[in-house]
């Protein structure tokens, strides 16, 4: 059975060119980049090249790029470093819809006595900037807001938010794991102090990330050890993955426009067809400020895990914000923060595209999905097929 | 991805007895759309008072649909007395088992069956003063008690897996803990027999495993039993506990109390450094 992979916000396929760039550095060119000999030194040169490729993608300087093990490490390093830089400040400002990498860390900090403000979002997933401005206080050590939401694709105005933080001397971090490679980013033109990137969301392998720290930002390392990464992140470099990520950044910079046009067209086609063919379905999150590759659609009166498993039978991969898939008993915190009604929240499905998707795949989903929803609705006690009116208690 | 048995998958993909029985003798609805799963069950009896026809409609995940389908297959042909005796464990076993986190689906099936039988008998629900313990999921004290009793549950997490109670805001965890203790006290032997040393050590180990370690592990800590001398329980702390300033408070107020509760009131905990 062919796999139709529409779950690219979860992870992406490693690009052919990326894998090719990495392979020599596993077995043949295994030298340690810190070594004094030529054998290791040549690897060091490749890492410098990767750092430049990564910096170029986001309009940063190579000295502002720190390679980490993943987006979560970058998020942790950023927030903890900011708190260490301002030991007198005890307030962290974030939002209700952050990725667990930030959310759980903030929950943890709150148990350690920090004051955490989680800004709400409206029904479209949009942040209220007036409320944001009011929440910036002299006690605020750091703001952490995601650039693009992983579940809905909704974009936060982080550049504007960073300006407002800077005016008040507050450090600003953004989890840009879903945004980098999908929207143009130029750090030179922003006031963002710290930014997190994850390799496997842009066709590099898992286990590699980037932590961007603006030059001149007070910084204290998260991993203390050797002099690697200029003493800002100890530990022998993950050389093949760094080199692969460099290549992936180069590809993203080169192909972003074309990729975006393509995934946008596929996404919009899938979304439009689903909404037309399946009654009582709707898109979660604003369609105005959104990643081009993501759509989050709710189907009323059916449950997400059941949809996913029936799609899985056809090889279609997507994800859901339903309670049963989250491992907890409540629907996703993002949909709850947006006030998505329960009739809709449990039946939400996220489709996320990449350059490797095709129109045929979209057509296949458009053909298979309506009968799946119909079948589950025919089993649902809340669905009255005759008049498509719900019978919620 | 959940590890479902082939039988669960099969019942999910080809559910039996979907729909509503016409002119049913008994009917019930449990769960709600807010909670993420709901089951509507209706049945009809034959002239011998056996279940002739039974159908379900379910809103929920794969295991909710599979347990509903399994339940209807199991009870078809049974008398109501027999159907009443089908436990949630029986339903799970029929399907070759369910993931722990999905046991509440089998409990939902059991509850729907009971409620439909009550509906047939014409009586109002037998819990006139049903007290809601978990506000998030509307779970009553009686439901929690029954799940603890029938499935021999001992932690809040298990109760959540089986009934959903406590899976939302977490505000009812203390209340659930009290219910567990009360029910377990009913079932535990009234007077504690005098323990031999070996029995005592075994029990202490068991209680550490079951009652203590899971809580410590949540914070990255752990504890190890070093020795038992008379009523002195010597332990060593591990993980974050080993460096935590509050570790002796945890030892005295949590570990010691648990051991006294479950093993013997004379026990005294002592920390040894390795």
Instruction: For residue range A314-371, list pLDDT tens digits in order.
Output: 999 999 988 766 666 788 999 999 999 988 999 999 999 999 999 999 999 999 999 9
Whether domain B6-121 has CATH 2.40.50.220: the reply is no
pLDDT at A90: 97
Tell me if the domain spanning A16-252 has CATH number 3.40.640.10: yes
Distances in whole angstroms, Cα of residue B3 to Cα of each of A266, A317, B71, B96, B102: 32, 17, 20, 12, 11
3-state helix, strand, coil in chain B (%, to 5): 50, 20, 30
Q: DSSP 3-state assignment of B51?
A: strand
For residues A72-97, average pLDDT: 97
CB contact at 8 A, A283 and A364: no
| DSSP code string of B76-118 | TT-BHHHHHT--HHHHHHHTT---GGGHHHHHHHHHHHHHHHH
- What ranges do the domains of chain B cover? 6-121, 132-184, 197-271
B180: tokens are: 């567990």
CA distance A339 to chain B (A): 12
Q: Residue with structure tokens 């995601």?
A: A146
Contacts of A137 (CB under 8 A, 6+ apart): A91
CA distance A234 to A216: 20
**Over residues A198-210, mean pLDDT:** 98
What span, in angstroms and rounded, lies between the C-alpha atoms of B34 and A331?
9
Q: In the predicted model, is pLDDT for residue A393 greater than 50?
A: no
Tell the residue number behind the tokens 């010597």, with chain if given.
B234
pLDDT at A299 over 80: yes
In whole angstroms, what is the distance from residue B233 CA to residue B204 CA?
Answer: 9
Write out the residues of chain A at the interface with chain B, using a CB-CB cutoff of 8 A.
301-306, 309-310, 313, 322-325, 327-331, 342-343, 346, 378-382, 392-393
Whether residue A122 is predicted with pLDDT greater than 60 in this model: the reply is yes
pLDDT of residue A97: 97
Tokens matching residue B121: 């008998």
Smallest CA–CA distance from A318 into chain B, residue: B1
CATH class of B197-271: alpha beta
Between CA B234 and CA B270 the distance in angstroms is 5
CATH class of B132-184: mainly alpha
Lowest mean pLDDT among A84-88, A295-299, B19-23, B256-260: B256-260
Residues of A in contact with B12 (CB under 8 A): 306, 309
The mean per-residue pLDDT over the stretch A266-295 comes to 97
Q: How confident is the model at residue A47 (pLDDT cuts 50, 70, 90)?
A: very high
So where are chain A's domains? 4-10+256-376, 16-252
CATH topology of domain A4-10+256-376: 3.90.1150
Confidence of residue A391 (pLDDT cuts 50, 70, 90): very low
Give the C-alpha distances (Å, rounded to integers) separating A102 from A118, A165, A210, A388, B60: 11, 18, 15, 40, 30
Provide the shortest C-alpha distance from residue B183 to chain A (in Å).
Answer: 25
- Does the pLDDT value for residue A111 go beyond 80? yes
For B117-172, the pLDDT digits (tens) are 999 998 665 555 578 888 878 888 888 998 898 888 999 989 988 988 888 878 88
Query: What are the structure tokens assigned to A140, written together?
Result: 């605020």
Number of CB atoms found within 10 A of residue A215's CB: 8
Q: Do residues B104 and B162 make contact, with C-beta atoms less than 8 angstroms apart?
A: yes
Q: How far apart are CA B131 and CA B136, in angstroms?
A: 13
Which positions of chain B have pLDDT values less than 50? none
Look at chain B and count its residues: 274
Q: What ipTM score was computed for the predicted complex, to two decimals?
A: 0.85
Active centre residues of B (catalytic): 35, 105
């Amino acid at each position: 059975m062919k796999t139709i992979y529409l779950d690219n916000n979860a992870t992406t396929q490693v690009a052919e060119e990326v894998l090719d760039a990495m392979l020599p550095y596993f077995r043949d060119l295994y030298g340690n980049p810190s070594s004094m000999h030529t054998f290791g030194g040549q690897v060091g040169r490749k890492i410098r090249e990767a750092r430049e490729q990564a910096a170029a993608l986001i309009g940063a300087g190579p000295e502002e790029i720190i390679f980490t093990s993943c987006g979560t490490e970058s998020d942790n390093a950023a927030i903890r470093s900011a708190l260490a830089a301002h030991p007198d400040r005890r307030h962290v400002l974030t939002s209700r819809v952050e990725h667990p990498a930030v959310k759980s860390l903030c929950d943890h900090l709150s148990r350690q006595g920090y004051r955490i403000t989680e800004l709400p979002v409206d029904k479209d997933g949009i942040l209220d900037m007036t409320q944001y401005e009011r929440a910036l206080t002299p006690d605020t050590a750091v703001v952490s807001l995601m650039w693009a939401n992983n579940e809905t694709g909704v974009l936060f105005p982080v550049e504007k938010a960073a300006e407002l933080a800077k005016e008040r001397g507050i450090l600003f971090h953004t989890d840009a794991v879903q945004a980098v490679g999908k929207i143009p980013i130029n750090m030179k033109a922003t006031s963002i102090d710290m930014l997190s990137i994850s390799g496997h969301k842009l066709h590099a392998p898992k286990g590699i990330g980037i932590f961007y720290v603006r030059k001149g930002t007070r910084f204290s390392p998260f991993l203390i050890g050797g002099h690697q990464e200029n003493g800002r992140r100890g530990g022998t470099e993950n050389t093949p993955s760094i080199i692969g990520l460099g290549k992936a950044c180069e590809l993203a910079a080169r192909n972003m426009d074309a990729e975006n046009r393509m995934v946008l067209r596929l996404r919009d086609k899938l979304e439009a067809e689903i909404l037309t063919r399946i009654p009582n379905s709707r898109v979660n999150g604003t369609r105005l400020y959104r990643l081009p590759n993501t759509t989050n659609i709710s189907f009323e009166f059916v449950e997400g895990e059941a949809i996913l498993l029936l799609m899985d039978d056809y090889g279609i991969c997507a994800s859901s914000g339903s309670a049963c898939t989250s491992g907890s008993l409540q629907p996703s915190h993002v949909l709850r923060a947006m006030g998505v009604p329960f009739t809709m929240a449990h039946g939400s499905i996220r489709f996320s595209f990449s350059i490797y998707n095709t129109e045929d795949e979209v057509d296949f989903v458009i053909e298979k999905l309506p009968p799946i929803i119909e079948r589950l609705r025919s089993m649902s006690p809340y669905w009255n097929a005759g008049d498509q009116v719900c019978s919620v208690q | 991805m959940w590890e479902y048995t082939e039988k669960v998958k099969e019942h999910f993909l080809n559910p039996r007895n979907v729909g509503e029985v016409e002119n049913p003798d008994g009917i019930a609805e449990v769960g709600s759309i807010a909670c993420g799963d709901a089951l509507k069950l209706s049945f009809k009896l034959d002239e011998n008072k056996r279940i002739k026809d039974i159908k379900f409609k379910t809103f929920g995940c794969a295991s909710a649909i599979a347990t509903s389908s399994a339940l209807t297959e199991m009870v078809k042909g049974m008398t109501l007395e027999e159907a009443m005796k089908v436990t949630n464990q029986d339903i799970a076993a029929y399907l070759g088992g369910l993931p722990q986190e999905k046991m509440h689906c089998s409990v939902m099936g059991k509850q729907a069956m009971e409620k439909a039988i009550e509906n047939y008998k014409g009586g109002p629900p037998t819990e006139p003063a049903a007290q809601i313990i978990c506000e998030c999921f509307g779970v009553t004290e009686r439901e929690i008690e029954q799940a603890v009793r029938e499935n021999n549950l001992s932690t809040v997490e298990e109760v959540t897996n089986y009934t959903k109670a406590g899976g939302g805001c977490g505000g009812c965890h203390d209340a659930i803990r009290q219910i567990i203790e009360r029910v377990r006290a009913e079932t535990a032997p009234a007077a504690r027999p005098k323990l031999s040393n070996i029995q005592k050590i075994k029990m202490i180990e068991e209680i550490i495993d079951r009652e203590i370690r899971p809580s410590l592990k949540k914070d990255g800590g752990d504890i190890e039993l070093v020795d038992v001398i008379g009523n002195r329980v010597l332990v060593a702390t591990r993980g974050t506990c080993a460096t935590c300033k509050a570790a002796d408070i945890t030892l005295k107020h949590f570990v010691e109390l648990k051991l006294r509760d479950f093993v013997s009131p004379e026990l005294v905990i002592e920390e040894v450094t390795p």
